[in-house]
Amino acid sequence: MVSNRKEMVQQYLEMKTESGVYQIQNVINQKRFVASSRNLRTLNGVKFQLNFGSHKNHELQQEWTKFGEDAFQIEILETLKKKKDDPFFNEKEELKKLEQKWLDQLKPYGERGYHKEIV
C-alpha cells in the first residue's frame, strides 16, 4: 500500500501544469466570465468556490446561486504556449496578455458578461 501511495505522489508531482484562459458561460442568458489561471487543473476549485458561494465576482456568484450549476459551462479557451528556450519569457505577463486578447475578442461587459469595462 505504501509503495502505491508513493507512486501516486510521484505521478502527481510529475504532472505538467498548463496555464491558460477559461470562460464560465451562463447558457440561459449567454453572459460570460473570462479569466486566466497559471494552473488550469484548479478549475474544479473555481467551481467549488461558486458552489460554496465565495467567488470573487459577485454578479456571477449571484446568478450561479440563482440558476444553479447546470445553467453554466466552464470551457478552456486557450492554453499558453510556453517558450522554454526564451530566458526572458515571463509566464505571468504572457498569461495576462492572453487573457486580455480574449476579453477584447468576447467583450464580456454589461449585458454580455460579468466584467466591468474600465474606461
**CA distances from residue 45 to 34, 82, 105, 108, 111 in whole angstroms, order as listed:** 16, 23, 26, 22, 26
Contact 52, 64 (CB under 8 A): no
Q: What is the pTM of this model?
A: 0.82
Q: What is the pLDDT of residue 14?
A: 66
Distance CA 72, CA 76 (A): 13
Q: What is the pLDDT of residue 2?
A: 52
Q: Which CATH architecture has domain 16-112?
A: 3-Layer(aba) Sandwich (3.40)
The 10s digit of each residue's pLDDT in 73-82 is: 999 999 998 8
Per-residue confidence at 31, pLDDT binned at 50, 70, 90?
very high
Average pLDDT of the chain? 91
Alpha helices (runs of H) in the chain, residue ranges in sequence order: 2-14, 43-52, 58-67, 91-106
Per-residue confidence at 8, pLDDT binned at 50, 70, 90?
confident
Share of the chain above pLDDT 90, in %: 75
pLDDT at 19 over 80: yes
C-alpha dihedral, 107 to 41 to 78 to 115, nearest 10°: 10
**Per-residue cell: 66:** 440563482
The 10s digit of each residue's pLDDT in 35-84 is: 999 999 999 999 999 999 999 999 999 999 999 999 999 999 999 988 77
